[in-house]
Structure 1
């Protein structure tokens, strides 16, 4: 019996390298029952994924990864069973993507100040289509092509990550506002990769604020963190989720991890579904 789902994957709709249909195909090949499409600040990849899923007999969970800033760093909140066809919800996401574009401009300017011959035009040329939802991995790819760094990891460590020389963070919504945005839309709100933040007091604060779940099984959470977050989730009645954070391939390597390698049981999916259904019924 197929019993698991990858609840964190990205497509070309944001900073992944695969078409939405490819994510669905990979999920089917991995033997999953379901896959969530959770692009950054957009639901544009969901319709194509759901269409592909009809042919392959696998469930696509409409999701999103909302960008926010807390304690001076990026904090991401995953939303599940969001109303991806709702125009009001889509309109709310526009301002989030505009902030992303502003950050890209600031990052490029900072890199230029450091003497790196990078331009916004060349970075944005990497992505086709009208919804140019560009992220830091696209900038990292340009740095590799320019010969400034040898890998995505080096680009983030030296320049783009929170300890990097070019790191910037314009004003964004708070994690609490991200949680509220998802819940107000009728979705279930889950904190993404909490182990990356090095701020467990903030994780506890967001649990108290009203998270529905926490992403325990993620490639960037170490064993101690997984044990701690599992205990907190059980203590507070949160849904324990998991996902690969698959962004496609950077060179020959999957980034962050291969789709299907980090998952959650379908029981977790059903809990998230129940939360979202209940929330929509109250609207």
Structure 2
């Protein structure tokens, strides 16, 4: 393992749409030379219970987190919620439960619509779930389309078939971005806007939305991400500095589900220190 701190604050497991278990992910993190990794599965803390054992086995510290799904004008807005209180009584927990319930029926509606034009079924989609998961979502549908030979990879599936402007789009409940930010803060966590400059999914987020999230208490922006161009990174870095926001980087690793590699974008150790100092919950970074 690297002698210098290497911090990756964005990764997924089979509890959402990754292809590796928590134990496998932490083994991969050790192999990649990471010293700290954040677990940020979509809308769930289900994998948190496995973190202490994974840290003990690998020596890679863990930052418990969630990637919270929000929505603005049919644009998906993702917010990393780091070191939040996982208790079920918070506004955040209630928002996540409502979103998960909505996403299950939404995925079924999307598959029903797609099946009229392409050879996939709901069973095909469920067969793409790598392990235990809290919600079947669009990435699993994308994998079923790949397996059926309809598209070559997940990226093509999202561009050609699963894009929100396409004919198969189905709405689902997700909180407004400012609501998500405030719920994360109320749960004692640190809200970091994830990949806001990505043009490969639902579109680049407008700067006025970022302004409103900053006003709601956003703590940072994930500037360094593989789906950000150099121009986008520069624009987001300037925005973060202007608004005194933390600047983070993460791989957004999903295992075999995406080409992203652990450690390809990192967060500076002093930024992680700032995140831990801002968290007000009892959740802490897990170390050996």
Q: TM-score, normalised by structure 1?
A: 0.90
Matched, 1:259 2:266: no
Change (3 A) 1:207 1:276: same
The answer on whether the counterparts of 2:103 and 2:173 sit within 8 Å (CA) in structure 1 is no
Other-structure match for 1:126: 128
Other-structure match for 1:245: 252
SS at match of 1:164: coil
| In 2: Cα distance, 1:145 partner to 1:10 partner | 21
**By how many angstroms is 1:76 displaced?**
0.6
Higher helix share: 1
Matched, 1:99 2:106: no
| In 1: Cα distance, 2:273 partner to 2:156 partner | 39
Q: Which runs of 5+ in 1 are unaligned?
A: none
SS at match of 1:8: coil
Matched, 1:2 2:4: yes
User: Mean alpha-carbon deviation: is it higher for 185-194 or for 159-168?
Assistant: 159-168
Matched, 1:24 2:26: yes
1:1-283 equivalences in 2 (<5 Å): 1-84=3-86, 86-89=87-90, 91-92=93-94, 93-113=96-116, 115-127=117-129, 131-196=133-198, 197-198=203-204, 199-250=206-257, 255-277=258-280
**By how many angstroms is 1:280 displaced?**
6.2
Structure with the greater relative contact order (CA < 8 A, sep ≥ 6): 1 or 2?
A: 2
| In 2: Cα distance, 1:259 partner to 1:64 partner | 17
Q: Which runs of 5+ in 2 are unaligned?
A: 284-288
SS at match of 1:10: coil
| In 2: Cα distance, 1:164 partner to 1:240 partner | 33
The alignment of Structure 1 onto Structure 2 pairs a total of residues equal to 274
**RMSD of equivalent CA atoms:** 2.0
SS at match of 2:260: coil
| In 1: Cα distance, 2:93 partner to 2:176 partner | 18
